[in-house]
Chains A and B, each alone.
Chain A
Amino acid sequence: MATADATRQAPAFKPARGRRARAGRPWVTWTILAALVALNLLPFFWVVLSSFKPTSEIHTKDLTFIPRQVTLSNYRNLFRNMIGFDRYYLNSLLVTTGTVGLSLLIGSLAAYGFARFKFRGREILFYTLVFSMFLPGEIALIGRFELFFHLKLVNKLSGLVLAYTTGSMALVLFIMRNVFRGIPQEMIDAARIDGAGTWQIFWEIMIPLSKTGLVAAGVLTFMGAWNEFLFALTITWSNAARTLPVGIMMLRDQYQHWEYGMLFATVMLSFLPVMILFIVLQKQFIRGATAGAIKG
């Protein structure tokens, strides 16, 4: 279980000179890679460029990639007549923020309990919780829908937060227990001698020393909650609670016949902020995304 160490000591992109020294023909490498990047990002360029085309240029068999005529009318129409897009965005933001916060809190508390206390049944409990991570969510789906229906948690943002937190806290627990175990015992003993209780030790020693692990767990939770589709689809049925993944499908169904330009603008605004966030935080993102995968 080297996961903790991996998340703590920055992964592993140190250039390994010897191997690279062997690489001949950088031209070939660069050409292939440039072609790959272009192919990889082409769908996004297509959307960005199309979102600036007038409708007449989109609804034509005479396909253009680069707009012949640039217009902002798609965005103007979109902002003037939102029919839900802003709401979906806000909902996604609220649900994701709530889920990340709650999962990190609940998961870290439990991780602390598992990492720093001895009690009967500790291993069994821990593995039961971690095992739940591997259980396919579909088997809980229908039972959970019924439960949420009876608890009146359906069609509510709070319901989504609770469901997503349940889904991701095991992963947080798994990552954070290893991180907490890596914190030297002497620091905890020293704090204890100074009269700190377990609660104080948790907030003043464990949490501040585990920032990297928390970021990694946070990124994974963020991606899960931001992208979730199936459960959101089943328990939301009005714009008050719909998140972006569900909402964008509704918008597609409305726009796809007459207002393709607005659909492009919608798609563009759906991916752009996340992409910018990723580019700014790319180190943390990538570290988080691969946190569970780096072993040994």
Chain B
Amino acid sequence: MDSRWKAYLYLAPALAMFVLFTAYPVGRSIHMSFHDYEFLRPEKAKFIGLGNYKEGLIEDEKTHLSLRNTLFYTSMFLPLYVLLPLPIAFLIDRLRRQVFMRVATFLPVVVSGAVVAVLWTTLYHATYGPLTVVAKWLTGYERLSFLGDERTAMPSLVAMAVWHGFGFNVLLYLVRLANIPQDLYEAADVDGANRRQTFQHVTLPLLRPAIYLVMVLGLIGSLKVFGPMFIMTQGGPKNSTLSLVMYVYQTAFTFGYLRFGYAAALAVMLAIIIMTFAIASSRLNRPVDR
């Protein structure tokens, strides 16, 4: 048969796109990361080996700060993101008609992150924002400013992100719950299991893959967080919401003559962190028994 060369014909567009727009740029980013290279002064570029990595890992305080901020964000975001939707999914799962609840919880998910961020800027507005007004009334603290105070800025961004992702996770859990074979429940019933035992030995183990999925997606997403900070706080106040990706962006597109080499090194390190987490958690996800 003539199938071999024909197969390559079908693959050609995808492969060409991949090589040109993914493989080459990734390779070029890595290559740049070993150079002292500023985009607007390409003639001054020179090879400096691991110099950028050394600067990022050891010398640059701001990298450390942005890494700490990102981990702080992740540590607040991830538990809420994974756990809050669980009880709601259990409740909705009991309903006979779920369409309304599914749509109502999912609605925020279809709105783009940037629009959500702008929307929440108005909610958090220090004078006219309803959240601020209510919180001032509750606490009596008149100087409250959610995004303007370094103690509340990051938690405020977390609250928004948890709200935005909530419906998606409820849905993932629901799909998984609905996929649990009915006969398992019946078997548990026959064996005289009570509701808690059924939950513990049937529902939870079978829901585990969905929980892991949400965890991994949430972890990766929160390590890459950028939009909320860029739109709502510009990394402030006092750099308290400067995330890693935001720092990469600033380094590449606003600092000096656009420090592409150093930014690329930071991006490579970020990618290594993310891949390590992703691979580590995929090992956790091995099904124990089916």
Task: Give CA–CA (A40, B101) in the complex, Å.
Answer: 11
Whether the Cβ atoms of A296 and B270 lie closer than 8 Å is: no
Q: Which of B68-76, B85-93, B150-158 contacts A (4 or more CB under 8 A)?
A: B85-93
Q: Is A196 an interface residue (CB 8 A)?
A: no
Whether the Cβ atoms of B185 and A141 lie closer than 8 Å is: no
Whether the Cβ atoms of A166 and B17 lie closer than 8 Å is: yes
Q: Is B182 an interface residue (CB 8 A)?
A: yes
| B-side interface mostly | helix
For chains A and B in complex, what number of residue pairs have CB atoms within 8 angstroms?
301
Task: Give CA–CA (A19, B231) in the complex, Å.
Answer: 45
Residues on A with beta carbons closer than 8 Å to the beta carbon of B117: 249
Whether the Cβ atoms of B94 and A267 lie closer than 8 Å is: no
Q: Is B227 an interface residue (CB 8 A)?
A: yes
Whether the Cβ atoms of A132 and B115 lie closer than 8 Å is: no
Q: Mark B21-50, 1 if CB is under 8 A from A, else 0.
A: 111111111111000000100000000000
Whether the Cβ atoms of B4 and A229 lie closer than 8 Å is: no
Task: Tell me the minimal C-beta distance from B159 to chain A in angstroms.
Answer: 11
Task: Tell me the minimal C-beta distance from A131 to chain B in angstroms.
Answer: 10
Q: Is A162 an interface residue (CB 8 A)?
A: yes
Residues on A with beta carbons closer than 8 Å to the beta carbon of B98: 13
Residues on B with beta carbons closer than 8 Å to the beta carbon of A163: 21
Whether the Cβ atoms of A47 and B130 lie closer than 8 Å is: no
Q: Is B144 an interface residue (CB 8 A)?
A: no
Whether the Cβ atoms of B17 and A162 lie closer than 8 Å is: yes
Residues on B with beta carbons closer than 8 Å to the beta carbon of A202: 10
Whether the Cβ atoms of A142 and B29 lie closer than 8 Å is: yes
Task: Give CA–CA (A286, B102) in the complex, Å.
Answer: 9
Task: Tell me the minimal C-beta distance from A291 to chain B in angstroms.
Answer: 10
Residues on A with beta carbons closer than 8 Å to the beta carbon of B4: 117-120
Task: Give CA–CA (A271, B113) in the complex, Å.
Answer: 11
Kindly report which residue of chain A lies nearest to residue B105, judged by CB atoms.
A40
Q: Given A144-B25, A230-B227, do A117 and B263 touch, yes or no (CB 8 Å)?
A: no
- Partner of B119 from the list A43, A119, A275 (CB cut-off 8 Å) is A43
Residues on B with beta carbons closer than 8 Å to the beta carbon of A267: 115, 118-119, 122
Task: Tell me the minimal C-beta distance from A262 to chain B in angstroms.
Answer: 12
Whether the Cβ atoms of B95 and A229 lie closer than 8 Å is: no
Q: Is A23 an interface residue (CB 8 A)?
A: yes
Task: Tell me the minimal C-beta distance from B89 to chain A in angstroms.
Answer: 11
Task: Tell me the minimal C-beta distance from A19 to chain B in angstroms.
Answer: 6
Kindly report which residue of chain B lies nearest to residue A151, judged by CB atoms.
B20
Whether the Cβ atoms of A230 and B112 lie closer than 8 Å is: no
A125-167 at interface with B (beta carbon < 8 Å): 125, 128-129, 132, 134-136, 138-147, 162-163, 165-166
Task: Tell me the minimal C-beta distance from B109 to chain A in angstroms.
Answer: 7
Q: Is A278 an interface residue (CB 8 A)?
A: yes
Q: Is A248 an interface residue (CB 8 A)?
A: yes
Q: Is A246 an interface residue (CB 8 A)?
A: yes
Q: Given A18-B182, A36-B105, A143-B26, do A248 and B115 touch, yes or no (CB 8 Å)?
A: yes
Interchain residue pairs with CB less than 8 A apart (23): A13-B174, A16-B178, A22-B195, A29-B91, A29-B94, A40-B108, A46-B122, A110-B15, A118-B7, A132-B22, A134-B278, A136-B224, A139-B30, A140-B21, A143-B29, A163-B21, A198-B10, A229-B113, A230-B226, A245-B113, A278-B110, A285-B106, A296-B209
Chain A residues near B (Cβ < 8 Å): 11-20, 22-23, 29, 32-33, 36-37, 40-41, 43-44, 46-47, 50, 58-61, 63, 65, 105-107, 109-110, 112-114, 117-120, 122, 125, 128-129, 132, 134-136, 138-147, 162-163, 165-166, 169-170, 173, 198, 202, 223, 226-227, 229-230, 233-234, 244-246, 248-249, 252, 256, 260, 263-264, 267, 270-271, 274-275, 277-279, 282, 285-286, 289-290, 293-296
